[in-house]
Amino acid sequence: MKKLLVLLLLILAAPAMAGGFFSGQLDMGVPGAIGGTTPAAGTFTTLTANTNPVTLPGGAKMFTYYASVGATTGTFNLPAITTSAHGILIAGANLYSATFRTDNAGTVQLLDSDAGGIIVANADTAAKLAIGDAAATDIIPITNRTADALVIMVILFYN
């Protein structure tokens, strides 16, 4: 039985060791590992702050925002959402952060937030950082009503 098992392993391993079954399919020692190739320079999409939107394979879109938003009245808008969206917001030097989702009617749901109540949804409130307001619209504002200007980063996947 042992001899049969060893023989079977040798038969299966021989083509792979000789460049058979997996030849050229996975080369972990080379950048761009799968297939052992590296894409040519200039074939990547370089994202810069506020260059939006970027259409992803399959038709979904990605919006990015990174800028300072003024204290007490600073605002910017997320893009129009056709169906739904999922986003991440980080403000300040990681002072406040939240993940959220929304629909095309402007209803924002905070999935988690470590901001101690500073980030709110669907309410433009004094001394808060608001994702959305009470309006039913597919364009959602981000509004900074805190006492400090904040550098805000948002990454939003939507359709």
Q: What is the DSSP track for 16-58?
A: HHTT-TTTTTB-TTSSSTBTT--PPTT-SPPP-TT---EEPTT
pLDDT for 59-96, tens place per residue?
Answer: 899 999 988 999 998 999 999 999 999 999 999 987 89
Can you give the pLDDT at residue 5? Answer: 47
CB–CB of 50/118 below 8 Å?
no
How many whole angstroms separate alpha carbon 117 and alpha carbon 45?
A: 36
In total, how many domains does the chain have? 1
Residue 36 lies in a domain: no
Name the phi and psi angles at 18, rounded to 5.
Answer: -95, 15
Residue 95 lies in a domain: yes
pTM value surpassing 0.75: no
Range of the domain at 129: 54-158
CB–CB of 90/68 below 8 Å?
no
Residue 93 lies in a domain: yes
Residue 23 lies in a domain: no
pLDDT for 122-152, tens place per residue?
Answer: 999 999 999 999 888 888 999 999 999 999 9
Residue 24 lies in a domain: no
